[in-house]
């Protein structure tokens, strides 16, 4: 089994390849890593959709939207890089992490 060690803010996280049989362990480690990186909110299914509807808050909302879009890229990359080749080939086409 391939494994890698990621250093996140001086914390070593042992990430084994997700092969479909070790989901709970893999998920816990991914959540810990994303929490350490402060990007775990990207995976929250209850996160409200950000819209540009109110002009007074446009700059703040636009900044939040850009941050979410920027944080989604490494989040998706980390997830894809821990999948086995078989699972990677299935999931790399998905555009949304949720």
Any domain includes 21: yes
pTM for this predicted structure: 0.68
Any domain includes 54: yes
**What are the φ/ψ torsions at residue 6 (nearest 5 degrees)?**
-110, 135
Sequence-distant (6+) residues with CB within 8 A of 72 are 42, 97
Any domain includes 98: no
Bridge partners of residue 5, in order along the sequence:
14
pLDDT of residue 11: 58
Any domain includes 45: yes
Which segments in the chain show pLDDT lower than 50? 1
Q: How many domains does the chain have?
A: 1
Q: What is the domain extent for residue 85? A: 3-91
* Residue 93: strand, helix, or coil: coil
Query: Which residues of 34-76 form beta strands (DSSP E)?
Result: none
Cα angle for residues 9, 37, 84 (degrees, 5° grid): 100
């Amino acid at each position: 089994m391939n494994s890698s060690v990621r250093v996140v803010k001086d914390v070593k996280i042992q990430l084994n390849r997700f092969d479909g049989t070790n989901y709970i362990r893999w998920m816990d480690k991914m959540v810990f890593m994303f929490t350490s990186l402060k990007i775990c909110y990207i995976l929250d299914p209850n996160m409200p959709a950000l819209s540009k509807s109110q002009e007074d808050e446009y700059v703040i909302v636009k900044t939040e939207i850009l941050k979410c879009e920027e944080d989604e890229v490494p989040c998706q990359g980390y997830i894809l890089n821990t999948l086995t080749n078989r699972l990677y080939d299935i999931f790399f086409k998905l555009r949304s992490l949720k």
